Amino acid sequence: MKIAIGTDHRGFALKEQIKSAFSLDNLEFKDFGALNRDPCDYPDFAIPVARAVAKGEADKGILVCSTGNGMAIAANKVKGVRAAIAMTPDMARYSRLHNDANILVLPADYIDLQLVPKIVKVWLETGFEGGRHQRRVDKITKYENEQN
């Protein structure tokens, strides 16, 4: 599975931790940066990750910043992206089951770092439930398509 991953300076350490924790799990990470802890702007990484996911160049994406909000807002501007913030394994699971989220957003400064591997694992392994949830995702997609 190809994973597009990106962060700003505040999430750099967590991004590296994720890549290291999952390096042996048949995941191929395409790292969009940041490449260090120097101050930078989250849209510079959120948008390229979101584009890669939307174009099918990556199967899923993971974004990290301080609160997760900036990354989620920026990524969700890209047509075809459903980026969801998750702070617990249950939030991650339901973002996939009910919302078919294709980008996981993690808030580096507000998450239990010990839970991160489990959050990522659950998110990667959970499928979309479809059914009534498909109808809801279709409504979002329809609206999104009418805007452009």
* pLDDT the model gives residue 7: 98
Indicate if the pLDDT at residue 5 is higher than 70: yes
Per-residue confidence at 147, pLDDT binned at 50, 70, 90? Answer: confident
Burial class (CB in 10 A: 0-12, 13-18, 19+), 86: buried
Q: Would you please indicate which residues are annotated as catalytic (active-site) residues?
A: 65, 98
Global pTM reads 0.96
Say which DSSP state 22 is in: T
Per-residue confidence at 15, pLDDT binned at 50, 70, 90? Answer: very high
* pLDDT the model gives residue 148: 62
Average pLDDT over residues 89-108: 98
